Structure 1
Amino acid sequence: MFTTRHDPTLEDNECLVTDEEINDTYNLTIRIVSVFVLLIVSFLGAAISVVSTRVKCLHINPIIINTGKFFGSGIVLATGFIHMLPGGMKFLNDPCLPDSWNVYSAYGGLFAMIAALIMQFIEFVAHQRYQSLTASKTHPTIEESERQGQEEIKVSVIDVVTSNVEIPDANHHCHGITFQDDAQKHKISTYLLEFGIALHSVLIGLTLGSTTDSFVALFIALSFHQFFEAIALGAQIARLEHVSWKSASFMVIFFALTTPIGIAIGIGIHTKTYNPKSVASLLVNGILDSISAGILIYVALVNLITAEMGVGAHAFHKLRKRLKFLYFVALYAGVAAMSVVGRWA
């Protein structure tokens, strides 16, 4: 029997959980099946966008892909606000925790905010690092300038002999740098997105593998959620420039494995020493859920919605009104769908 009562004055048995109560509604077979189902669902969702973009014979209309992407962005945002943050706050406000945790009711929001700020700082450092590398290339050292000057003299001599050689347009070079900057920003945001989603997927897999309540409803909700979240991630991966098939495939497979790994860990924890009301379980679940919420909310608002539909998204603003309307509806539909699913999961 597990006992985690911290307040002996509690008249109920909230913090007393027996092995019988934990194992009473736990079906190991269906959880093992869920590992393979979510593996396939996650892989298919992420692969659809990547394959349809890179294989001409399997090409899917970009409007369909983009609609799924914006729907998936709404899924990611709602997952942070509806599924992860309230759960984290609930764990961290549980009466079975010591009094020191119950005197401050905003720990869930605090950890989510810290996670969002850390994500912003990581992204800032990554961009700064890229900018410094770019600056070192565009502003050479004295020796490099001398070498460059000697090369320019040689080129000018050759130009006198071969007057038909075309001189590259300086404006074209500047545009190239701009495109490279945009591509690098997209690459960084995609890696951050995969990190946030991967962490979240492990956590929800852990929850699914260890939970004893409402497994079927949660399993259906997560299958739906993982598919469209995978489409959003796959669309981002598909847009990465100069990324090989091997790298893109690795990112898709890595994402597909995260939830099954979480489920396997959850099953292992449950079959050994899992006690949902222990201080360790409540703190680990609460802190990780809150951190995951902060990451997903930041990634959804900054790297997905604002980057794709915000003021700086010039390509989006050039679209026809009907397409913009469709994509906004898809975004709100994703948010609404996961909000409704949150009623049962």
Structure 2
Amino acid sequence: MMNNSIFLIFLVFHVFVQTEQGPLKQKALLQRNARTANDTTEAPSNPCSLSDEQINQSYNLTLHIISIFVILVVSCLGASFSVVTTRISCLHVSPIIINVGKFFGTGVILATGFIHMLPDANEALTDPCLPDSWNIYGAYAGLFAMLAALVMQLTEFIAHSRYRRLEKKKQKECKKNNIAPISHTHNHDDVKEYVNSEKKDCPEEQYQQQSGTSTEITVAADETEIESAHSHGVVLQEMQQHKISTYLLEIGIAMHSVLIGIALGTTSGSSFVALFIALVFHQFFEGVALGAQIAKLEQKSIIPAVIMVVFFALTTAVGIAIGVGIHQGTYNPKSVASLLVNGIFDSISAGILIYVALVNLITAEFSNSQTFYALRIRLKVLYYASLYLGASCMAIVGRWA
């Protein structure tokens, strides 16, 4: 009897358990099937791993190849404008027009660093597709830009230090040669001959010392000649400063031109047209600013100027070709390597352009130039307006590119 009761209780419990587990198992099976269906049909795509179809979407290879030659011609025209009009007399253009274009281009360069390069660098270096170690510190773009500006300043200092050492060697050579001071005379031609000979043979400090010993010359000679004698050293220093600044400007522009060329070469869709128009505008006026600096080098041979113009014209075109080649290969703009390379180089380019624009162009041409202070007020206003207009136009273009 006891055994029958136990058996009956066990049977009732077994039937109850099976009755309760049936719907639960069926419900669990339905949920698992639903998850499987969602995983296969609605699986979210990884934004950090783009497919070939997404990368090649709306990519027009023909337009990219045409853009190489258009950018090449526009860059060459902008950079060679000031050089050609300065060297060829029949094509002479008013210096006011050249300066307006130069200062407009200076504003373009400044806005390129602040508006186009630095924000893009910050966006790339804070992208969620980067490792967490890069996203913890959100100021990498500013850090690399600052380091680039400091390196440019150090490079400029080293260049000037080397120039000063060479000048000291020339001074010692002049002292060994025992160059005699000018005799006391009332003939203005003698003064001019002395000035010209000293410009060729002795550096400015030796020249200033010898010109200062002949105090009696001031009684007879024209005051403008003596003033030019004492200012000879300052002129040479300004020429050397301009030469170094021009070379640094060329380096900075070349680096960022290659980067923006690569960006254009890998861009597809409707954004390509906007970026292409912006680069045509940017390259022409940036070339005008660089060409005006090259034209002021006052070199006897035109070959160095031609080399610098051609080098500038090729940088962006080469960058576009590189971008096209990268896009035709295995290119993923959201990969860690692409984001780091673009972000770091964009920030470095931004630092170089900002330093060159503020220090070597704006400060040198406006604040530290005695020639600019001597200009009429309306010319000063015109040049400042050109600078601000160039920066404003490039900032507006940054709305689309």
The answer, yes or no, to whether TM exceeds 0.5 is: yes
Alpha-carbon distance change, 327 to 164 in structure 1, aligned in 2, over 3 angstroms: closer
Any unmatched runs of 5+ in structure 1? 1-9
Alpha-carbon distance change, 164 to 73 in structure 1, aligned in 2, over 3 angstroms: closer
**Structure 1 partner of 2:378:** 322
- Superposition RMSD on alpha carbons, in Å? 2.1
Q: Deviations over 1:104-145 (max 9, x none)?
A: 0000000000000000000010011101111222245xxx75
1:40 aligns with 2:69: no
1:298 aligns with 2:367: no
1:261 aligns with 2:318: yes
Q: Distance in 2 between matches of 1:63 and 1:164?
A: 33
Instruction: Say which one has the larger Rg.
Output: 2
Q: How does 1:72-111 map to 2 (within 5 A)?
A: 72-111=105-144
Q: Distance in 1 between matches of 2:358 and 2:137?
A: 27
1:16 aligns with 2:34: no
Q: Distance in 2 between matches of 1:148 and 1:97?
A: 66
Any unmatched runs of 5+ in structure 2? 1-42, 196-210, 212-225
Q: Deviations over 1:182-240 (max 9, x none)?
A: 11110000000011001111010010001225000000001001000000000000000
Q: Distance in 2 between matches of 1:164 and 1:308?
A: 34
**Structure 2 partner of 1:270:** 327
Q: Distance in 2 between matches of 1:103 and 1:25?
A: 35
Structure 1 SS opposite 2:71: helix
Q: Distance in 2 between matches of 1:164 and 1:216?
A: 64
Q: Distance in 2 between matches of 1:51 and 1:85?
A: 33
**Structure 1 partner of 2:156:** 123
Structure 1 SS opposite 2:58: coil
**Structure 2 partner of 1:313:** 369
**Structure 2 partner of 1:206:** 262
**Structure 2 partner of 1:283:** 340
1:334 aligns with 2:390: yes
Q: How does 1:55-204 map to 2 (within 5 A)?
A: 55-140=88-173, 145=175, 147-149=176-178, 166=190, 168=194, 170=211, 172-204=228-260
Structure 1 SS opposite 2:231: helix
Equivalent pair of 2:104/2:386 in contact (CA under 8 Å): yes
Q: Deviations over 1:39-82 (max 9, x none)?
A: 00000001111101111100111111100100000000000000
Post-superposition offset of 1:294 = 0.2
Alpha-carbon distance change, 36 to 166 in structure 1, aligned in 2, over 3 angstroms: same
1:28 aligns with 2:84: no
Equivalent pair of 2:110/2:391 in contact (CA under 8 Å): yes
Structure 2 SS opposite 1:71: helix
- Larger displacement relative to structure 2 (105-114 or 174-183): 174-183
Q: Distance in 1 between matches of 2:125 and 2:299?
A: 44
User: With structure 2 as the length reference, what TM-score do the two structures score?
Assistant: 0.77
**Structure 2 partner of 1:224:** 281
User: With structure 1 as the length reference, what TM-score do the two structures score?
Assistant: 0.89
Equivalent pair of 2:49/2:335 in contact (CA under 8 Å): no
Post-superposition offset of 1:176 = 2.2
**Paired positions, count:** 324
Post-superposition offset of 1:179 = 1.3
Post-superposition offset of 1:177 = 2.2
Q: Distance in 2 between matches of 1:115 and 1:329?
A: 29
